[in-house]
C-alpha cells in the first residue's frame, strides 16, 4: 500500500530532509508541502493519507487547526523538544481517539522510527515517543484535562486478559483488531471492555487509554 503524505513545516530545508527520509523506501510518497500559516492540505488536488506536522516545539502548534484536521485524516507530529503545553496533547489524543484516526507524537525521531510511525498511523493506530509519554504521565495521564481520578495500580484490579485488551486499546486498536490479535470474538472483546470500564471507573476508550499509559501497560507484552 502506497502511503501519500503531506508535510506541514515552515523551513524549506527541513521539509526537504523529511521528504528524503520518507521517500527512502518504496511505499511512501510526499504529495504536498505546506507552511504552518497555510494550514493542512485539503486533499482536493491529490489525495492525502497522512499529514506530517513538523515543529520545534509542540507548543508552536496551532491547536485549533490541528484538531480540525484530526477529524478527517491521520496525523504525525514531530518536534525537537519534548516540552508539552498544558491541555494540548490531552485534547489532541482525545480528539484522535474519538474520531477513530491514527496519531503519532514523536520527539527527534530517527528515520526508521519516523517511517514506522507513518505506517502505523496510516493503518489507524497511534504511537507516542517515550520522551513525550514521560512528560504526560505526571500530568493526569496525558498532560491534558481529565475528569477521572488518578488511577491506583490497575494490575491489581484487572485480570491478565483484561490487561491484554486494555494494552491494545491504548495502542489505538479497534475491537475488531483486538479480536483478531487475541483470537477472540468481537462480542467477547466488548464484554471485556465493559468489565474494564467498570473496574477502572471510566466511561470511554479515551479515559481507559489514559489509565493504561499511566499504569505502564504495553501492547508488546500481549
Mean pLDDT score of the chain = 75
Domain ranges of the chain: 3-136, 154-221
How many other C-beta atoms lie within 10 A of the C-beta of residue 165? 29
Q: Which fold has domain 3-136?
A: Rossmann fold (3.40.50)
Query: What's the pTM value of the predicted model, to 2 decimals?
Result: 0.60
Q: How confident is the model at residue 184 (pLDDT cuts 50, 70, 90)?
A: very high
Res. 205 pLDDT band, cuts 50 70 90:
confident
Q: What angle do CA 131, 134, 212 make, to 5 degrees?
A: 120
Residues 111/144/179/51 CA torsion (nearest 10 deg): -40
Q: Is the pLDDT of residue 145 over 50?
A: no
Q: Grid coordinates representing 182? A: 487475541
Element (H, E) at 51: strand 50-57
Domain 154-221 class in CATH: mainly alpha
Q: How far apart are CA 77 and CA 61, in angstroms?
A: 9
> Is the Cβ–Cβ distance between 147 and 140 less than 8 Å?
no
pLDDT of residue 199 exceeding 70: yes
Q: What pLDDT was estimated at residue 18?
A: 94
Q: Band of the pLDDT at 152, cuts 50, 70, 90?
A: very low
pLDDT on residue 138: 46
Amino acid at each position: 500500500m502506497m502511503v501519500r503524505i503531506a508535510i506541514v513545516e515552515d523551513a524549506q530545508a527541513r521539509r526537504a530532509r523529511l521528504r528524503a527520509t520518507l521517500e527512502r523506501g518504496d511505499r511512501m510518497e510526499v504529495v504536498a508541502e505546506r507552511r504552518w500559516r497555510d494550514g493542512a492540505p485539503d486533499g482536493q488536488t491529490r489525495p492525502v493519507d497522512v499529514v506530517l506536522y513538523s515543529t520545534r516545539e509542540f507548543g508552536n502548534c496551532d491547536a485549533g487547526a490541528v484538531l480540525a484536521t484530526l477529524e478527517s485524516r491521520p496525523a504525525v507530529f514531530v518536534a525537537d523538544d519534548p516540552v508539552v503545553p498544558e491541555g494540548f496533547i490531552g485534547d489532541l489524543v482525545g480528539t484522535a481517539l474519538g474520531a477513530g484516526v491514527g496519531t503519532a507524537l514523536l520527539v527527534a525521531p530517527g528515520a526508521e522510527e519516523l517511517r514506522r510511525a507513518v505506517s502505523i498511523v496510516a493503518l489507524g493506530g497511534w504511537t507516542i515517543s517515550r520522551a513525550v509519554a514521560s512528560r504526560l504521565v505526571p500530568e493526569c495521564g496525558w498532560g491534558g484535562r481529565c475528569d477521572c481520578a488518578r488511577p491506583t495500580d490497575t494490575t491489581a484490579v484487572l485480570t491478565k486478559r483484561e490487561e491484554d485488551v486494555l494494552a491494545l486499546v491504548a495502542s489505538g486498536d479497534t475491537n475488531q483488531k483486538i479480536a483478531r490479535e487475541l483470537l477472540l470474538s468481537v462480542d467477547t472483546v466488548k464484554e471485556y471492555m465493559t468489565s474494564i470500564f467498570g473496574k477502572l471507573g471510566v466511561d470511554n476508550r479515551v479515559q481507559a487509554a489514559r489509565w493504561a499509559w499511566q499504569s505502564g501497560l504495553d501492547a508488546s507484552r500481549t
